[in-house]
């Protein structure tokens, strides 16, 4: 009998590569800075179950791309999908991939779309702050100042969408976070336990794979 779980694990397996200090990614800057610091200083293999969650997210995005490209949805035009960007600073680089750039024909607006999958759309009352930070960075880097966060429920494809206006001051704050992260990493100094100390980030500790190490450092 075929063990399809093992086939999936083999299919989505990606060789682990340690991240390089000086190269940073938009998806991690909204997380706790201490957790991100650990991911550079103490790299670890991504658990198979987490890889599967990432893969489901990729599948959801592929579906959204199909919808945006479809002749049945003439209201929008997909201009670009999964396209790269880079922001270069004096001693480090921020790089990543933007999900989608679309043209909304009725208003003739170009809009960046960031797609996020979720388990239950009814729990999504507002966009998550770290997702907003990611999209703000994209808008700053690409120069397209209209953004949408699209949440898609994995079980039934129900969606919620939030319009995110570009905020230049917020973008500069996000870039400052990269500078702070780089300073802590190059100085080999552990950042404060950000998620433990901020009310709107405490939920991250519950799902953090670095929690045990972080708790020991606190003691």
In a domain, 114, yes or no: yes
In a domain, 210, yes or no: no
Give the pLDDT mean for 167-190: 95
Q: Is 181 left (phi over 0), alpha (psi -120 to 50) or beta?
A: alpha
In a domain, 40, yes or no: yes
CATH code, domain carrying 105:
3.90.320.10
Reported confidence tier of residue 184, pLDDT bands at 50, 70, 90 = very high
Give the pLDDT mean for 69-73: 94
What pLDDT score was predicted for residue 151? 97
Give the pLDDT mean for 55-68: 92
Pairwise CA distance, residues 42 & 18, whole Å: 9
Count the neighbouring beta carbons within 10 Å of the beta carbon of residue 101.
19
The token duo for 65 is 């791309």
Range of the domain at 169: 22-189
In a domain, 209, yes or no: no
SS3 for the chain is: CCCHHHHHHHHHCCCCCCCCCCEECHHHCCCCHHHHHHHHHCCCCCCHHHHHHHHHHHHHHHHHHHHHHCCCCCCEEEEEEEEEEEEECCCCEEEEEEEEEEEECCCCEEEEEEEEEECCHHHCCCCCHHHHHHHHHHHHHHCCCEEEEEEEECCCCCEEEEEEECCHHHHHHHHHHHHHHHHHHHCCCCCCCHHHHCHHHCHHHHCCCCHHHHHHHHC
In a domain, 195, yes or no: no
Label the pairing between strands 93-104 and 23-24.
parallel
Pairwise CA distance, residues 38 & 43, whole Å: 7
In a domain, 165, yes or no: yes
- Residue range 95-140, pLDDT digits in tens: 999 998 988 888 899 999 999 999 999 999 999 999 999 999 999 9
In a domain, 215, yes or no: no
Between helix 211-218 and helix 33-41 the angle, nearest 10°, is 110
pTM (predicted TM-score): 0.90
In a domain, 176, yes or no: yes
- Structurally, how many domains does the chain consist of? 1
The token duo for 62 is 């592929």
Backbone Cα Rg of the chain: 19
Reported confidence tier of residue 16, pLDDT bands at 50, 70, 90 = low
């Amino acid at each position: 009998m075929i063990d399809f779980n093992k086939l999936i694990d083999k299919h989505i397996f990606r060789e682990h590569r340690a991240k390089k200090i000086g190269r940073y990614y938009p998806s991690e800057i909204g997380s706790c800075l201490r957790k991100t610091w650990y991911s550079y200083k103490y790299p670890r293999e991504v658990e198979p179950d987490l890889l599967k969650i990432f893969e489901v997210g990729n599948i959801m995005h592929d579906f959204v791309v199909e919808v945006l490209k479809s002749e049945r949805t003439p209201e929008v035009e997909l201009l670009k999908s999964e396209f790269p960007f880079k922001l270069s600073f004096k001693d480090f680089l921020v790089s990543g991939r933007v999900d989608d750039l679309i043209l909304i024909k009725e208003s003739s607006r170009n809009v960046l779309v960031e797609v996020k999958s979720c388990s239950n759309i009814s729990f999504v009352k507002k966009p998550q702050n770290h997702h907003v930070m990611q999209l703000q960075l994209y808008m700053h880097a690409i120069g397209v100042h209209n953004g949408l966060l699209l949440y898609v429920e994995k079980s039934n494809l129900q969606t919620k969408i939030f319009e995110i206006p570009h905020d230049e001051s917020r973008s500069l704050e996000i870039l400052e976070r990269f500078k702070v992260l780089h300073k802590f990493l190059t100085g080999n100094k552990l950042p404060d336990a950000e998620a433990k100390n901020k009310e709107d980030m405490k939920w991250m500790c519950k799902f953090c794979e670095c929690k045990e190490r972080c708790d020991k450092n606190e003691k």
